[in-house]
Amino acid sequence: MAKTVLGKCPNCGENVVIGKYGPNCSAKCGMRFGYAMGRRLSDQEVETLLAGEHILLRNLTNKEGTEYNAYLTPNGVQEYSYEKDGETKSGIQWKFDFEFPEDDELPEEEPPFGNIDIDDSELPFN
């Protein structure tokens, strides 16, 4: 079965495809696409970032527990490394430029399943 291509890997130029565990580089170059700012990214958000466009992440929480919103715009890649359970994890991830909008500058949130019109009179429990 052909895998859906979301765009080109900013690290190696090969296709980014949707795999069993989310978006990944078809060349397995080590670039990570699934998370940003501690939040899992949707396939659509990854596709938007791969096109060089910004995404809006809402309701992020800083170390002090304060919520904020941020626009992330990709600006290259960078290596990362950290230790977890005594094991060093490393790879390559996006570098981002950040913009922090005021609440009154935010676009209206879309419903999670789009704008679906349902005629309640046809539902079996009415």
**pLDDT tens-digit profile, the chain (126 residues):** 678 999 999 999 999 999 999 999 999 999 999 999 989 999 999 999 999 999 999 999 999 999 999 999 999 999 999 999 999 999 999 999 999 998 777 888 765 555 555 555 655 554
pLDDT value, residue 121: 60
Asked if residue 81 lies in contact with residue 109, where contact means CB atoms within 8 angstroms, the answer is: no
Residue 30 is classified by DSSP as S
pTM over 0.85: no
**Domain limits, the chain:** 5-108
Residue 8, CA distances (Å) to 28, 33, 118 in order: 13, 12, 38
* Helix-, strand-, coil-residue percentages of the chain, each rounded to 5: 10, 45, 45
Instruction: Kindly tell me the sign of the dihedral angle through the C-alpha atoms of 70, 74, 76, 82.
Output: positive
Q: What was the pLDDT predicted at 113?
A: 53
Tell me how far apart the alpha carbons of residues 96 and 47 are, in angstroms, rounded to a whole number: 15
